[in-house]
Amino acid sequence: FGDLGSRIQRHESRRAPEFEGYGTSQKEIDDDDARWIYINDPVKTNQKYEFTGNSIRTSKYSFISFIPRNLFEQFHRIAYIYFLVIAILNQLPQLAVFGRGASILPLAIVLFVSAIKDAYEDLRRHRGDRIENNRLALVLVNGRFQEKKWKYIQVGEIIKVPSNQSLPCDIVLLSTSDPTGVAYVQTINLDGESNLKTRYAKQETLMKNPEKENISGIIKCEKPNRNIYGFQANMEIDGKKMSLGPSNIILRGCELKNTKWAIGVAVYAGQETKAMLNSSGAPSKRSCLETRMNREIILLSLFLIALCTVVSALFGVWLVNHKDELNDLPYYRKEDYSEPGEVDSYNYYGVGLEIFFTFLMAVIVFQIMIPISLYISMELVRVGQAYFMVGDGQMYDEASHAKFQCRALNINEDLGQIKYVFSDKTGTLTENKMEFECASICGVDYSTGTSRKLSDQASYSVRVDDQICRPKMKLKVDTELEVLAKGGTGTNEGEHIHNFFLALAACNTIVPIVTDTDDPTVKLIDYQGESPDEQALVYSAAAYGFMLIERTSGHIVIDVQGEKQRFDVLGLHEFDSDRKRMSVILGFPDKTVKVFVKGADTTMFGIINSSLNRDVITATKAHLHKYSSIGLRTLVIGMRELSGPEFEQWQSSYEAASTALMGRAAKLRHVASNIEKNIQILGASAIEDKLQEGVPEAIESLRVAGIKVWVLTGDKQETAISIGYSSKLLTNEMKQIVINGSSKDMCRRRLQEALTMARNRKAMTGGAPNNDETSRDDPSLLALIIDGTSLVYILDSELEEEVFLLACECAVVLCCRVAPLQKAGVVSLIKNRTDDMTLAIGDGANDVSMIQVADVGVGISGQEGRQAVMASDFAVGQFRFLVPLLLVHGHWNYQRMGNMILYNFYRNAVWVLLLFWYTLYTAYSLTTAVTEWSSMLYSVIYTSIPTIVVGILDKDLSRRTLLSYPQLYGAGQREECYNSKLFWVTMADTVWQSAVVFFIPLAAYWKTTVDGSALGDLWTLAAVVMVNLHLAMDVIRWNWIMHTTIWGSIVATFMCVIAIDAVPVLPGYWAVFHAMGNSAFWLCMIGVPVVGMIPRFVVKYVSHYFCPGDIQIAREAEKYNEEGSWITEGSVVEMSRISSPPLAR
């Protein structure tokens, strides 16, 4: 093995299988599906294929396309098309009810406000694009690196990137400042991960200097795709053909670290870079409340058609009854006698067409039955709600400086109706900050001995170039194990311990970064890597005297008990989700070659030679079970020495697989599997991933609120159960149902047995539910625990229904060993069978699928990057922030939005019925006493601003009450603020109030000489006063803004009516002034609201005092508490049952 150190091989398969759907990285590249790049020849490269430039554009509009495209997007709303059709109909002479300008005004205002908002957002994108495109990079031009703006970079150009600079495009590495060709990059701008990653230049291009010699060659790579973890290409330089993988490409947005410079060739630019292809947002979701609102809009549409049909039918009857008088009737004449001696005919089309035209005119007059302003009001309210959620200091994580993020404005109110929470474990319930706890080595459990916190001692530090280097993190060490680790390899036990910690220090992709301290003679080594588990293991190895101090692509340097040893890295098979393990092949100073393997126990025991050390294997399995039972994360460690022929066979196999043109990834995995066999077990490690602060309390609050919490994790069953106990999700009194079948028949049998048992227990306890007010310590509660293998047979089969019914009988569900797609399948299991709202929360890329499938997706800004955050609707810093998000803001948002929607229906229906009553007294002619301007401005200006302000600011209960009594969250789950019953009650109240507004002034002025315009002004003002007082009656917490908008709207309406009547050219000139001079006007202004509000006041009084709900009870408790009465610490307020088990669709 004399020259093995110079032949560096790497096996790249990290995470690829989870992302195969994004591109063709795991498939052979056909010539038709490949792009050919001529190195240092951008003209030839782009001449044939016309690749995009490096200019990016995140904006949606241009100056020319803004108006047509924005209008096109806005008219995706059916309601806007409806109002456009109404406005067009009003332009026809036969149907002109309102003035042409007035009929267009409401729609124009709504479109204008939305366009202004969209234009402002897009202008910010344009500014960001301009800054990004004008950044400078060093590009090889005429044999010298010269500065060029990013937007002018082309595919095929050679680029030089200095340290701490961002990559302008996706480049294949040619050389770096490191003689071994390694480059360290930070991908925080791409996926949010702050740990350093290693990338490598090929050995064949390392020594080439583009400024001194001409570099030419061809790269054949896959077409642009979204897979940021995969890349497949071949490169040919100087007649040598070599393969390229994910470790040879650096993506746009990454930042070069700890490397003076790196040189590469641009392969993807601009919109074709992987970063830009992944910049699309999460799938659009629609609010459940808005979806149900559409049902009422359909009912209102049918009611509108009914009104128009009644008016047109009655008009037809009137025409038939007065057919002999139509020529001479003063307000409906068929003939025109205005010119002396001439009789002209008006446009009369016969009874049939007149009825049809009347129907269309009625649609125009009653058009606001469909509330056009509701949509823009909902958008503005959601923006206001998001502002206060983002600014909530109680959802700010000081440790990570992460603020709450509202990434989807259209589902705020869904936060108040959640019934199921699906949570990841690692990084979501736990901190994902791993700490080495104990180990099992050679069958000996080192978890029961004494331990101590390692201080600044010589054993914890090494001397490098007259400087002391010590690890950045300090750990507890087992004193017995520490002594044995220092004892050397003289005994069998000592040799096993030596190899065990050597494996922890070497079998990883950790990069040691040396950082300065206040003492110039002392340096800290910060271990950077993609996996927190690997970091914890390397820190633990350092604590026991095996300190990794240097890593390159070809070798590593480990200080072993004060002696620096260099090991050649001959091969590295990184972790992938198929093998669930990784291995490294090391060349030792004594010329021996060994392979070290670590991985999950489920795969490791399959490759361990069971004929060796059977007692050790048995003991290790027992220790693994013990560690998992107390919630520790475990890995199994093994090794074996390779003979010369074995290594040479592996090396030739790897070289053949890495240059294969067909099925390269599968062949590489096969090579890895061949070398990872007949392994001798060294031991097992146990790492603690502590619970996040406040998780048990948060889960308890969610449970009391009637929310079911399901945990979906990839960890072992024992680990998941342990975390369930520590997080108070499970209790000792709960009966556990475990489903871990190895076949479909076994799963079916166990599901049927469990379902029978669950129903029997339910019958014995009198049908007590398992999901709401039942005490958490009630022995009747059930917990379902199911593993990923069972889910393989259950999901997408007839067993789904059985597991759904069983889950509905259980208070807790834990899913172990689940894959990312299985997580999404479990969410769909509930989502597709119930109307209950689902929420998924996670922090890693493996949680993205379930986050996007759930009704509401929440990402955690954690240790595993920002993939979950980027795919989510909302983002928080800690799991515990779900409590204020759902119980406080979710409750407020749902209550406000539900009330606002009903109020919009009510106020518009009052106006339409007012016009309808008037039509009955005017021969169904659809003439209106109300001015056309007031009719158009009623729902846009007169009454819209107060409902928006109340929708943003009103609070039915305080934060303290909502957090103290989580049961109050059940109001949203029971749809107490918006349901069919409330809709019909509101419509009944609307009929009464509209009749009061119309008939009281009509009776007051009956048989008087008042003109129609004056009466129309009275009706307008009375209606506006009525609907604003109606809103004021529902306001719970008043402030000066609400007072200003509600009473200010009434004042503004008076001013507008006066201004309209003061214009001589408009109908009704000076009418309002004549009306105000009469005492009857002011008596009506007082009497109409009083009489109109009496039924509503009586109903509210009776319901609140004789059959109050939870909200009313809590509100009264708050009131008495403010007055210093009986609510004291520890008082109990009895609440209603939260909910019942979900009903299948």
* CB neighbour list of residue 856: distance below 8 Å, 6 or more residues apart: 285, 411, 414, 415, 418, 837, 838, 839, 840, 873, 874
Provide long-range contacts, Cβ within 8 A and 24+ apart, for 325-334: 331/923, 331/925, 331/927, 332/923, 332/925
Q: What is the 3-state secondary structure (H, E, C) of 855-888?
A: CEEEEECECCECHHHHCCCEEECCHHHHHHHHHH
Collapsing DSSP states into helix, strand and coil, what is residue 814? strand
- pLDDT in the model for residue 1127: 44
**How much is the pTM?**
0.76
User: Tokens 């509210």 identify what position?
Assistant: 1100
The answer to whether 1001 and 1084 have CB atoms below 8 angstroms apart is: yes
Low-confidence ranges of the chain (pLDDT < 50): 1-27, 281-282, 453-459, 769, 771-774, 1124-1134, 1137-1145
Nearest-angstrom CA–CA distance, 639 and 677: 9
Nearest-angstrom CA–CA distance, 872 and 860: 9
Closest alpha carbon to 226 in 152, 284, 170, 171: 170
Q: What is the DSSP letter of 941?
A: I
Closest alpha carbon to 816 in 746, 740, 756, 745: 740
* CB neighbour list of residue 55: distance below 8 Å, 6 or more residues apart: 133, 150, 151, 270
Nearest-angstrom CA–CA distance, 573 and 893: 51
User: CA angle 738-739-744, nearest 5°?
Assistant: 165
Collapsing DSSP states into helix, strand and coil, what is residue 832? coil
Which helix or strand (DSSP H or E) is residue 524 part of?
Answer: strand 522-528
Task: Go through 799-817 and write b for each residue having 16 or more CB atoms within 10 A of its CB, e for each that does not.
Answer: bbebbbbbbbbbbbbbbbb
Beta strands in 188-254 (DSSP E): 193-200, 217-222, 233-237, 240-244, 249-250
Collapsing DSSP states into helix, strand and coil, what is residue 334? coil
Q: How many helices (H) and strands (E) does the chain have?
A: 36, 39
Nearest-angstrom CA–CA distance, 270 and 1109: 58
Query: 111: which 2 tokens?
Result: 């479109």
Q: What is the 3-state secondary structure (H, E, C) of 689-722?
A: EEECCCHHHHHHHHHHCCCEEEEECCCCHHHHHH
Collapsing DSSP states into helix, strand and coil, what is residue 96? coil
Query: 424: which 2 tokens?
Result: 């990841």
The answer to whether 458 and 482 have CB atoms below 8 angstroms apart is: no
560 CB neighbour count, 10 Å cutoff:
18
Spatial strand order in the sheet of 249-250: 144-149, 136-141, 158-162, 261-268, 170-176, 249-250
- pLDDT in the model for residue 417: 94
50 CB neighbour count, 10 Å cutoff:
6
Beta bridge partners of 262: 161, 176
424, 715, 873, 1017: which one is catalytic? 424
Closest alpha carbon to 1142 in 809, 891, 857: 809
Closest alpha carbon to 86 in 116, 108, 115: 108
1105 CB neighbour count, 10 Å cutoff:
10
328 is a catalytic site residue: no
Q: What is the mean pLDDT of the chain?
A: 83
The answer to whether 588 and 639 have CB atoms below 8 angstroms apart is: no
Which helix or strand (DSSP H or E) is residue 175 part of?
Answer: strand 170-176
Nearest-angstrom CA–CA distance, 770 and 768: 7
**Length of the chain counted residue by residue:** 1145
Nearest-angstrom CA–CA distance, 983 and 905: 9
Nearest-angstrom CA–CA distance, 166 and 147: 14
First to last CA, the chain: 68
Residue type, 80: Y
Residue 1138, φ and ψ in degrees, nearest 5: -70, -50
Nearest-angstrom CA–CA distance, 669 and 677: 13
Helices in 216-287 by DSSP H: which ranges? 274-277
Nearest-angstrom CA–CA distance, 550 and 552: 7
